[in-house]
Structure 1
Amino acid sequence: MAGMSRAPSPNPDVVRFASRGSSHFDVLLALFCVVIVVSNVVATKAIEFGSGSLTVGPVQVWPLVTDGGVVLFPLAYVLGDVISEVYGLRAARRAILTGFAAAALAAFAFFVVQLMPAASWYENQPAYEAVLGPVSQIVLASLAGYLAGQFLNSWVLVRMKQRSAEHRLVARLVGSTGVGEVADTLIFCAIAASAIGITTFGTFLNYFVMGVVLKVGIELALMPVTVRVIAWLKRREPGYFDR
């Protein structure tokens, strides 16, 4: 209406972060922990795409090798990006350490239950050990890679945001993801490879490269969703644009 003044648009050159004491952050944190725990369990299955064999020198080019963790684990980086962008490095650190604790607790429970004597009628102990036995090694690999990758991901994103404020969101999402995923996947594959039966350097290299390509590819495919979720949270977090 004429004569009514509009609220000024938020200054895009100001670096802002929302308070983590909101229900939105709680939901993101819960999802983050579930993704980490479930990814560690499904990562015990080795996956191979293709048949036959193609090698270049010592490197296996075909078939392509990965593990079940690739299905869900990229969402951990999507959620990490959202938390880092909206809530900042301190909130991201809390999410990372909480996810670490949840994964460690799950691995401890699997290990203790495996050692407990099975009932006389229980016939699935070998299957339990085959599926959940490697989880401890997978969790060790995941936690080592996860800590390095997630902290690098959050650190790079927040540092880039401190330089560009509300500008260049996609650039910092892509840049932080690339750095974090390469570090994470290299450390994870180095520790976890033997747990899923990888014994040669050529197969290991295939496993590492496939892991990076698939994880980064999934995150890039989800980028439009990530950007929209971040924009939605920024509009609805009390005080974000008041800072």
Structure 2
Amino acid sequence: MFENTTKSKIYVILTGSFCALIIMSNILGSKTMNINFLALPCSILTFPALFIINDILSEIYGYKLTKMVIYLGFILNIFAVICYTIAIMLPSNSPNSESFTAILSTTPRIFIAGLCSYIVSNLLNSKILVKLKEKYYHLLFVRCMLSTAVGETIDSLIFITVAFYGVFPTNLIITMICCQAVFKILYELISYPITRKVILAIRKLDDGELKGQI
């Protein structure tokens, strides 16, 4: 499977993983987990991985190719929700029909919040990492953590504010934003050794079909 691996082949794998994770995150987001007094969406288990892949893509392939992946995830996200909605509307005699609807249905407000936070935070994360690379090439840890900190904070700020403003008290919304951002940044910090190894390994590969496009 990984014989004669090139950067172009890894790009395909990372693209597929990124798109799969965004779909998984949307489904997991329908359930919350309670941590003491705070309820957090289960999507925090997978969504930070998007930023790790974002970092790898941005570091190796640059902003232009990373932006294409982000846009593809955005389009597939919309397509998935459209398919879910149509499936829910179709008549069914399945005993699991109500459960299917409960899990895959979404309100317009949550949907818009998710799309806005996803596109803004991921593009910003990639842009910051690439810009920092121009001046601080050897400071990979700093670039990954700083870009992720900004991206994850913006993501939490946009999603929770748009989704829950006026529904939950302001102090709870602020707490949720802070807790989600901290959790996601810690996720990145713990995963950094793996991220670094992956980046260093891909750097050594031939460009393949991507030669001249990076």
TM-score, scaled to structure 2: 0.88
**What SS does the corresponding residue of 1:70 show, helix, strand or coil?**
helix
> Is the counterpart of residue 141 in structure 1 residue 113 in structure 2?
yes
Equivalent AA in structure 2 for residue 86 of structure 1: I
| 1:33-112 matched pairs, under 5 angstroms | 33-50=19-36, 63-112=37-86
**What SS does the corresponding residue of 1:48 show, helix, strand or coil?**
strand
Q: Which of 136, 147, 172 matches 1:164?
A: 136
Change in CA separation of 1:130 and 1:199 when aligned onto 2, cut-off 3 Å: farther
Change in CA separation of 1:134 and 1:98 when aligned onto 2, cut-off 3 Å: same
| 1:10-25 matched pairs, under 5 angstroms | 22-25=8-11
| Contact 1:107/1:135 (8 A) holds in 2 | no
Change in CA separation of 1:168 and 1:100 when aligned onto 2, cut-off 3 Å: same
Residue 192 of structure 1 and its aligned partner are, at CA, apart by 3.0
| 1:171-190 matched pairs, under 5 angstroms | 171-190=142-161
**What SS does the corresponding residue of 1:210 show, helix, strand or coil?**
helix
Residue 155 of structure 1 and its aligned partner are, at CA, apart by 0.5
| Contact 1:48/1:65 (8 A) holds in 2 | yes
Question: Could you report, residue by residue, the CA deviation over 1:55-76 in whole angstroms, capped at 9, with x for unpaired residues?
Answer: xxxxxxxx13211110000000
| Contact 2:7/2:207 (8 A) holds in 1 | no
Deviates more, 1:204-213 or 1:81-90: 204-213
CA distance in 1, matches of 2:33, 2:175: 12
Identity %, equivalent residues? 27
Equivalent AA in structure 1 for residue 180 of structure 2: G
Can you give the 5+ residue segments of structure 2 that lack an aligned partner in the other structure? Answer: 1-5
RMSD: 2.3
Residue 223 of structure 1 and its aligned partner are, at CA, apart by 0.5
Can you give the 5+ residue segments of structure 1 that lack an aligned partner in the other structure? Answer: 1-19, 51-62
Count of residue pairs the alignment pairs up = 206
CA distance in 2, matches of 1:227, 1:135: 38
Question: Which structure's residues are more often helix, by fraction?
Answer: 2
**What SS does the corresponding residue of 1:22 show, helix, strand or coil?**
helix
Equivalent AA in structure 2 for residue 87 of structure 1: Y
**What SS does the corresponding residue of 2:84 show, helix, strand or coil?**
helix
Residue 135 of structure 1 and its aligned partner are, at CA, apart by 6.6
Residue 129 of structure 1 and its aligned partner are, at CA, apart by 2.2
Partner of 1:26: 12
Question: Could you report, residue by residue, the CA deviation over 1:175-221 in whole angstroms, capped at 9, with x for unpaired residues?
Answer: 10011111111111123338xxx632232222211110111110110
Question: Which structure's residues are more often strand, by fraction?
Answer: 1
| Contact 1:44/1:135 (8 A) holds in 2 | no
CA distance in 1, matches of 2:145, 2:151: 10
Q: Which of 216, 225, 234 matches 2:203?
A: 234
Partner of 1:211: 180
| Contact 2:7/2:205 (8 A) holds in 1 | no
